[in-house]
Structure formats: C-alpha cells, structure tokens
Amino acid sequence: MTLQLRVYVPEHPLIKHWLSVARDVNTPPVLFKSAMSELGRWLTYEAVRNWLPTVDTMVQTPLTECAATFVNPQTPIGIVPILRAGLALLDEAQKVIPTAAIYHLGLVRDESSLEPACYLNKLPDRFAPQTRIVILEPMLATGGSIMMAMKEIISRGVSPELIRIISIVAAPPALRQLSKNYPGLEIYTAIIDEGLNSKGYIVPGLGDAGDRSFGT
Ligand code: URA
C-alpha cells in the first residue's frame, strides 16, 4: 500500500465565511486577526477528530451513573505555531486542545532567495514518546518553512504520522514537497489556491498573513 498526502478542506459555511473575510483587502487588521482565529478554531477542531486519544470511564450524573469518555490527559500533545503568522491561529487552537504544550518556532523567509532561516526555536531537545504535534502554518507557499519545521520536529523524535498541519491557504509547490517527503501526513486547510507569484506570494491568497494579522 502506498501512502498519500491527505489534504482536507472541510466543507463548512463558517470556514468559507472567515476565509472570505481574510481574503478581502479591505478587511482591517483587527478583523483579519479574528478571521484567522476563527479559522484556527474550526480547522483545529476538524484536525483532532479521530486523532485525540480518549479514555472510557464512568461518571455519576445528578441522577445515576453512566458511561463517559474523556480526552486522555496522559497523551503528550504539542502545538507548534510558526511565527509570526501562526500566532494568529494559536489562541483558538489552544482552546480546542487545552492540554497541549506550546512550542514556538520563529522562521523568517529571505525575500530574495525565499529560503527560511530560524530565529527562535523553543522545541525541546527530545519530545516524549508518542507526542502528537499540531503545526500552525497559515500559508503553505513555497514549502520552505514547513519543510524546515517538519525536519526540526522529526529530528527530535516525533513520528510524521503523529503530526497534523493546519494551514489557511495551501499552494501546490508546498503540497508537492510535503507529499514527496512525508506521504501519509494529514493537512487541514481552508482552501487550496492556484499557485505563487514571482515573489512567492500565494495567488489569489490573502497577502502577508503576518503583516495583516499584526497591522505591520
Ligand atoms: N506568506 C504569506 O504570508 N503569504 C503568502 O502569500 C505566502 C507566504
């Protein structure tokens, strides 16, 4: 059996709505940031379906005892927001998975070579066995940043099958690189766009997600 990259674009009116708000050039930064937060919430919710381990037990209701299922608090889970734009998704993603630890990864891309460089790395030397990781990378464009993030995380002991990526807009060059290197990986995105312009921006895209989130 050959593994294939799985890219999920959940069919949801709220995801379509907030993506459209984010795409609109006239959306002011404060609303753009809320749109990204909303997308972060719904896409994280979809991404953890069938993925968060649960434990079955019993609870006493006010009336009687009944079966209950909780998210297993023993499962190590990490959220890796790729700075800056990934921060726009973080608050809501963290609300969806409150037991997750947050490991910031700051990557900046050189505007002429489009190559990423790491300026902040809060990943541990080694992740605990079976750690599940959600990467927040809103714009999957050339693939440079996400490939660097995957390498850093996997080199610290995380299996690619336990990683899920949340993006807002994904473009074919990044998806091709991920597919070639990590078949079996799952990505949750609001949309797959046509491609990139000569400056590496996704078209039609939504512009610079970091600048628009933080008004810079
Ligand atoms: N990063 C962004 O913020 N936007 C793009 O279109 C591509 C990379």
Alpha carbon distances (Å) from 190 to 2, 62, 183? 26, 41, 20
Q: pLDDT digits over 23-51, tens only? A: 999 999 999 999 999 999 999 999 999 99
Task: Identify the residue whose C-alpha is closest to ligand 1 atom 5.
Answer: 201
Task: Identify the residue whose C-alpha is closest to ligand 1 atom 2.
Answer: 208
Q: pLDDT digits over 118-154, tens only? A: 999 999 999 999 999 999 999 999 999 999 999 999 9
Reported ipTM: the value is 0.95
Distance CA 59, CA 191 (A): 40
Residue 168 has pLDDT above 60, yes or no: yes
List the domain boundaries for the chain.
11-54+72-214
Ligand 1 mutation pick, 39, 115, 201, 216, max ligand atoms within 8 A of CB: 201
Q: Global pTM?
A: 0.95
pLDDT of residue 2: 59
The interaxial angle of helices 29-47 and 87-96, nearest 10 deg, is 40
pLDDT of residue 115: 84
State the pLDDT confidence band at 187, using cuts at 50, 70 and 90: very high
**Mean pLDDT in the chain?**
95
Using the atom order of ligand 1, give the atom closest to the CA of residue 212.
3
Nearest to 134 by CA among 92, 195, 177, 181: 92
Alpha carbon distances (Å) from 55 to 58, 64, 70, 75, 123? 10, 20, 5, 10, 28
State the pLDDT confidence band at 113, using cuts at 50, 70 and 90: confident
Q: Which H/E stretch holds residue 80?
A: strand 77-83
Distance CA 67, CA 22 (A): 42
Residue 66 has pLDDT above 70, yes or no: yes
What is the Å distance from ligand 1's center to 54 Cα?
A: 36
What is the Å distance from ligand 1's center to 208 Cα?
A: 5
Tell which CATH classification among 3.40.50.2020, 3.40.50.1820, 3.40.50.720, 3.20.20.70 matches the domain 11-54+72-214: 3.40.50.2020
State the pLDDT confidence band at 181, using cuts at 50, 70 and 90: very high
State the pLDDT confidence band at 207, using cuts at 50, 70 and 90: very high
